């Protein structure tokens, strides 16, 4: 069977001009290697041409401008807001409802949460984005799509590089990479990186991360491989909170920012939030051929230790994640059969504490401000165990002009949550209260267990109209379990299910290429975030949601080395049946639009690469208006022509590049929300920033 290759994959959702002959390849959409134009689904591949001219402080730098993907940086650190076709909207932190892979290894927890703390962006070679549900191959929680982050391979070449990056606000991004054969068949890759920024354009906004990665691997004489990945990460991230607009208190921090250009400290009480983590990750994957069979067994281990000051409380976590995946591919006269099973288990021990240092006001006293991120008295101990098991099968029938993919999967997910609560933060009291207290739920010992079983079928068909144009269609399904934290707040949450109907047209030509997609998604029991007073979140099921959309992404080669491109997404997402709990009363929101997702989103770029080694790229993005809340009471106007520019020059072993984001220094918000009491919260976007990077290859 054909082995995994590491093709040069170029910028954007589609490949460029003269390089079309390289045939852009994806391994995420079907779990086997296939040209993107032959996949009956919407797939985008972001390659090294774009990545090399981005600061790569976070995944936002790679995915910005991909149609159908809403991604924003929360503070220029590794924490990002990621949504694909509306999935992930409910996440107050981290990433939800999207399966994230690292070199094909799931790093999404069995309960659907993903944190990107340990993904070393300096190692990223390319990113594959599969839009729309694909629980058939990747299991429950691939509800909105799949993102596969693929790193540099030690098999590629002997040698390495040193990168030194310096920017304003004491931003630094450095890394050392080296790979070499160390004996017959053995290869070793090594990477060390440091990313940091004071981000002093707003208070309490620093981050830094140190990462070390080893890739000891082996290539057999017939091309089979044994790939290992070991990484250690230590990361500190301050979370500055939002700018508050609260007419009842006479507070309007957003207008003050627009007027003065200075970002004030959040007016919410929780002024010292953050995420401080230490992460160990290991994976081992064998790819072995036996005649027409190819077996890919995979095991992985992930250990987290977190210290997280969040609204109301501080919690510490000790998390162990274990996983195994066996995939078998059989090549026969009709096509390829792919089958296998997955087992994942995570255990988390979590302790909740008071904020030790607070400022109080009033009688009885309410917390006005936190004074530090130090933990105080213990409020609660909690143990969480989640186990996922699934089996999958897909048959791909391939003929000269037709491709038909038919598959199904069964997953079973079990949640076991138990703990003991001595006290909690009371919204009504505005302070901590100890048990027994009628204002505190689940006082003393508690235990709950839920099990979800999911069946996820899929069918996709593609027809080659001409050597240039392919047309496709698919009916795909997905499911998403509530997370542990969501079940803790609402143990009655149901499993969310989606059916996606999609058709599209793809074109590949030496001068141009494009992808289009029309889709309709019917979602049952979608878990919806309800923003309560104080900005905290509760969760409930919406009876039915419908999402309709259109996506386009394309490029055109104007002359040798000069490319232009554009992408567009139309998103019409509405609640068809939804009652939102507000102050103890259910309020009908049926017919309302989902918040935050703009109906229109545009991106355009121009890039040039000269044979002398000079290159440049300009990209501009527009994010249309959207509603701030489920009630659709008010819109945020969005932003227009948020522009980034990069220029570089390479000669011999040296490469220098300058990258500028938000070129025109626009004042805008990356997210605006409105709680059920009418208080608005704005998260301001970064001002104009730059990074100068020098690379020496050896």
> Going by DSSP bridges, is the β-strand pair 99-102/145-151 parallel, antiparallel, or unpaired?
parallel
Q: How far apart are CA 175 and CA 245, in angstroms?
A: 41
pLDDT of 492-508, one tens digit each? 899 999 999 999 999 99
pLDDT mean over 355-361: 97
Query: Given pLDDT bands bounded at 50, 70 and 90, which one contains residue 76?
Result: low
Bond before 364 cis per omega within 30 degrees: yes
pLDDT of 311-332, one tens digit each? 999 999 999 999 999 999 999 9
Q: What is the pLDDT of residue 491?
A: 87
- The beta strands (E) that lie in 399-436 are given as 402-421, 423-426, 431-434
Cross-strand bridge partners of residue 263: none
Per DSSP, the three-state class of 562 is strand
pTM: 0.93
Q: What is the pLDDT of residue 77?
A: 75
pLDDT mean over 62-80: 86
- Window from 6-10, 449-453, 688-692 with minimum mean pLDDT: 6-10
Q: How far apart are CA 489 and CA 493, in angstroms?
A: 9
Q: How far apart are CA 195 and CA 601, in angstroms?
A: 30
Q: What is the pLDDT of residue 514?
A: 97
**Helix or strand holding residue 274 (H, E):** strand 273-290
Residue 524 pLDDT > 60: yes
Per DSSP, the three-state class of 109 is coil
Residue 5 pLDDT > 60: no
pLDDT mean over 439-452: 87
Residue 621 pLDDT > 70: yes
Residue 529 pLDDT > 50: yes
Q: How far apart are CA 505 and CA 554, in angstroms?
A: 11
Within 10 Å of residue 418's Cβ, how many Cβ atoms?
14
Query: Given pLDDT bands bounded at 50, 70 and 90, which one contains residue 164?
Result: very high
pLDDT of 362-390, one tens digit each? 999 999 999 999 999 999 999 999 999 99
pLDDT mean over 544-561: 97
Query: Given pLDDT bands bounded at 50, 70 and 90, which one contains residue 428?
Result: confident
- Across all residues in the chain, what is the average pLDDT? 93
Q: How far apart are CA 504 and CA 514, in angstroms?
A: 11
**Helix or strand holding residue 48 (H, E):** helix 48-51
Within 10 Å of residue 260's Cβ, how many Cβ atoms?
9
Q: Report whether 107 contacts 90 (CB < 8 A).
A: no
Query: Given pLDDT bands bounded at 50, 70 and 90, which one contains residue 16?
Result: very low
pLDDT mean over 341-352: 96
pLDDT of 233-258, one tens digit each? 999 999 999 999 999 999 999 999 99
Could you give the percent of the chain with pLDDT greater than 90?
Answer: 84
pLDDT mean over 144-170: 94
Q: What is the pLDDT of residue 19?
A: 38
pLDDT of 263-312, one tens digit each? 999 999 999 999 999 999 999 999 999 999 999 999 999 999 999 999 99
* Residue, of 113 and 126, whose pLDDT is higher: 126
Q: What is the pLDDT of residue 21?
A: 42
pLDDT of 81-97, one tens digit each? 899 999 999 887 889 99
Structure tokens at 416: 């076991």
> Going by DSSP bridges, is the β-strand pair 585-588/579-582 parallel, antiparallel, or unpaired?
antiparallel
HEC string of 444-510 equals EEEEEEEEEEEEEEEEEEEEECCCCEEEEEEEEEEEECCCHHHHHHCCCCCCEEEEEEEEEEEEECC
pLDDT mean over 516-528: 96
Q: How far apart are CA 364 and CA 305, in angstroms?
A: 36
Q: How far apart are CA 327 and CA 432, in angstroms?
A: 50
pLDDT of 581-613, one tens digit each? 888 899 999 999 999 999 999 999 999 999 999
pLDDT mean over 425-434: 91
Q: What is the pLDDT of residue 345?
A: 95
Tell me whether residue 692 is exposed, middle or buried, using C-beta atoms within 10 angstroms of its C-beta: 0 to 12, 13 to 18, 19 or more: middle
* Residue, of 57 and 438, whose pLDDT is higher: 57
Tell me whether residue 612 is exposed, middle or buried, using C-beta atoms within 10 angstroms of its C-beta: 0 to 12, 13 to 18, 19 or more: exposed
Q: What is the pLDDT of residue 183?
A: 87
Residue 130 pLDDT > 90: yes
Structure tokens at 98: 């999207």
């Amino acid at each position: 069977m054909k082995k995994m290759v590491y093709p040069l994959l170029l910028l954007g959702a589609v490949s460029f001009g003269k390089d079309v002959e390289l045939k852009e390849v994806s391994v995420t959409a079907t779990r086997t290697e296939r040209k993107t134009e032959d996949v009956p689904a919407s797939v985008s591949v972001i390659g090294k041409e774009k990545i090399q001219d981005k600061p790569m402080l976070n995944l936002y730098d790679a995915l910005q401008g991909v149609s159908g993907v809403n991604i924003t940086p929360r503070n220029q650190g590794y924490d990002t807001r990621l949504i694909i076709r509306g999935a992930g909207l409910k996440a107050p932190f981290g990433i939800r409802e999207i399966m994230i892979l690292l070199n094909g290894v799931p790093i999404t927890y069995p309960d659907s949460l993903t944190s990107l703390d340990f993904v070393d962006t300096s190692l990223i070679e390319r990113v594959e984005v599969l839009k729309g549900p694909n629980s058939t191959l990747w299991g429950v929680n691939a509800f909105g799509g799949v993102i596969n982050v693929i790193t540099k391979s030690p098999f590629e070449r002997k040698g390495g590089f040193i990168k030194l990056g310096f920017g304003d606000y004491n931003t630094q991004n450095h890394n050392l990479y080296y790979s070499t054969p160390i004996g017959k068949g053995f290869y070793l890759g090594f990477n060390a990186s440091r990313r940091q920024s004071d981000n002093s354009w707003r208070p309490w906004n620093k981050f830094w991360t140190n990462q070390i990665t080893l890739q000891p691997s082996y290539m057999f004489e017939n091309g089979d491989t044994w790939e290992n990945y070991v990484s250690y990460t230590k990361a500190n991230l301050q979370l500055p909170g939002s700018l508050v607009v609260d007419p009842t208190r006479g507070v309007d921090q957003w207008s003050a920012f627009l007027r003065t250009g200075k970002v004030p400290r959040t007016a919410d009480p929780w002024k010292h939030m953050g995420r401080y983590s230490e992460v160990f990750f290991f994976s081992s994957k064998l790819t072995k051929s036996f005649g027409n069979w190819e077996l890919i067994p995979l095991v992985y281990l992930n250990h987290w230790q977190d210290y997280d000051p969040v609204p109301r409380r501080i919690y510490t976590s000790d998390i162990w994640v274990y996983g195994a995946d066996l995939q078998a591919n059989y090549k026969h006269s009709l096509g390829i059969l792919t089958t296998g099973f997955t087992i994942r288990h995570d255990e988390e021990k979590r302790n909740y504490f008071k904020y030790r240092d607070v400022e109080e006001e009033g009688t009885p006293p309410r917390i006005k401000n936190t004074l530090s991120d130090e933990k105080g008295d213990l409020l609660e101990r909690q143990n969480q165990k989640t186990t996922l098991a699934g089996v999958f099968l897909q048959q791909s029938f391939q003929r000269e002009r037709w491709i038909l993919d038919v598959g199904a999967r069964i997953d079973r997910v079990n949640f076991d949550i138990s703990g003991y609560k001595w006290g909690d933060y009371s919204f009504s009291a505005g302070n901590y209260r100890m048990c027994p207290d009628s204002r505190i739920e689940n006082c003393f010992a508690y235990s709950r267990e839920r099990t979800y079983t999911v069946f996820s079928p899929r069918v996709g068909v593609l027809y080659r109209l001409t050597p240039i144009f392919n047309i496709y269609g698919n009916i795909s399904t997905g499911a998403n379990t509530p997370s542990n934290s969501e079940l803790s707040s609402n143990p009655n949450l149901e499993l969310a299910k989606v059916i996606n109907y999609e058709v599209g047209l793809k074109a590949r030509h030496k001068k141009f290429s494009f992808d289009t997609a029309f889709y309709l998604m019917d979602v049952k029991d979608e878990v919806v975030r309800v923003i309560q007073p104080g900005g905290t979140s509760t969760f409930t099921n919406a009876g039915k949601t419908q999402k309709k959309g259109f996506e386009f992404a394309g490029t055109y080669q104007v002359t040798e080395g000069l490319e232009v491109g554009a992408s567009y997404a139309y998103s019409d997402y509405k609640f068809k049946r939804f009652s939102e709990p507000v102050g103890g009363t259910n309020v009908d929101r049926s017919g309302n639009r989902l918040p935050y997702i703009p109906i229109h989103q545009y991106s355009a770029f121009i890039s040039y690469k000269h044979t002398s080694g000079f290159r440049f790229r300009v990209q501009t993005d527009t994010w249309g208006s959207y509603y701030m809340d489920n009630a659709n009471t008010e819109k945020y106007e969005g932003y227009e022509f948020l522009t980034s520019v990069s220029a570089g020059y390479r000669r011999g072993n040296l490469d220098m590049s300058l990258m500028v984001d938000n070129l025109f220094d626009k004042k805008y918000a990356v997210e605006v929300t409105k709680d059920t009491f009418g208080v608005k919260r704005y998260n301001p976007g970064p001002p104009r920033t730059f990074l100068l990077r020098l690379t020496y290859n050896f």
